[in-house]
Amino acid sequence: MKNLRLIIGLLGILVVLACSDDDTIKDPIFEFISFQNESVTINENGGSIEPIPVVLRLMGYEPTEDIRVDLSVTNTNVEEGIDYELSSKSLIFKSGSFISDTLFVSTIDNEIGTDLERSFDIRIENISKPEIKVGLGIENPTNAVMKVVIADDECTETISVFDGALTNQTPWGTHDINGSVNGSVVTLVGNLITYSPFSNATLEVTLTPDLDGGTKGSVTFDDFNAGTDSDGYEYQFRQVGSGSYDVCSGEIHVGFDVYYMSGGSWVYWYTTNNTITLQ
């Protein structure tokens, strides 16, 4: 009987050793946490777009206690707080749940146009139960990272679009004028006040974007000596209200009072509101 027990024991040891040397034998049960999608695209249109919900899924394991998952973000031509916002950077699997709570991704309409891809990666960084694997699959796990692509809604032009032939619309008529751009200053030349004796008026306006690289902004100028008409009268333009521009629509809006020189003093004549557009 003792010999039989010894033989059985030796056989057991051999089986264990054989199994230990067999690298192909794997545990048939695996636990994974992953994103549901590898990528998602979200439009930039700010408040007009509902935030995109993002959740994680848990496979092969039913939690008996809450599991916390921490996330990290890697940006490509975007910046958090300027291009997008995340409601959180950690998600929780409640006890007994295979789906995490929800992370919301929203975009910010920042008026910046670019031809470059604008995206960011959300990555599973840490799991409070470390024995659970990240991503689906043992050798080449997938869905451990989710890519969020922001679809830009701005054009990629700059204020250089105003360099050339333009159309000037006033309350009394529409006229062809010319623009030339130097840095942030646009020089407008032509019939700016619908007055034929003064068809060569000049006005320099400064275009300032609402934020660096933006396609929209303000139009300003100081009291500007606009030139002399064919009758010899000198003119000055003085801005009224807030001017604006939009590169994507190719428009400049600016209003100003028209003054002329008489007896050594500037005399108010009338006010004009101009819409200047690309031809």
- Total residues found in the chain within this entry: 279
Q: What is the pLDDT of residue 176?
A: 97
pTM beyond 0.85: the answer is no
> How many Å apart are CA 65 and CA 94, to the nearest integer?
7
pLDDT tens, position by position, for the chain (279 residues)?
444 444 334 334 333 334 444 433 234 346 899 998 899 988 886 555 688 999 999 988 788 899 999 999 999 988 999 889 999 999 999 999 999 999 999 988 776 777 678 899 999 999 999 888 898 876 667 889 999 998 876 677 889 999 999 999 999 999 999 999 999 999 999 999 999 999 999 999 999 998 777 888 999 999 999 999 999 999 999 999 999 999 988 999 999 999 999 999 999 999 999 999 999
Maximum separation of any 2 CA atoms in the chain, in Å: 134
Alpha carbon distance 253, 155 (integer Å): 19
With contact defined as beta carbons under 8 Å apart, do 57 and 111 qualify?
no
Chain-centre distance of CA 94, in angstroms?
Answer: 33
Ramachandran sector of residue 183 (left: φ over 0; alpha: ψ -120 to 50; beta: rest) = left
CATH topology of domain 27-151: Immunoglobulin-like (2.60.40)
Contact at 8 Å (CB) between 36 and 27? Answer: no
Burial label for 247, CB within 10 Å (0-12, 13-18, 19+), is buried
Q: Where are the domains of the chain?
A: 27-151, 159-278
DSSP secondary structure code for residue 198 in this structure: G
Residue with tokens 């439009």: 43
Helices and strands per DSSP (H, E), number in the chain = 1, 20
pLDDT at 139: 62
Q: Are 80 and 86 in contact (CB under 8 A)?
A: yes
Query: What SS3 state is found at 214?
Result: strand
Given this chain, do its domains 27-151 and 159-278 carry the same CATH topology? no
Pick the CATH number of 159-278 from 2.40.128, 3.90.1150, 3.30.70, 3.90.25: 2.40.128
Say how many C-beta atoms besides its own lie within 10 A of residue 128's C-beta: 14
Could you give the residue ranges of the DSSP H alpha helices within the chain? 2-21
pLDDT value, residue 46: 55
pLDDT of 275: 97
What pLDDT does 48 receive? 58
Instruction: Calculate the alpha carbon distances from 102 to 8, 66, 99, 168 in Å.
Output: 55, 15, 9, 51
Alpha-carbon span 274 to 239, nearest angstrom = 11
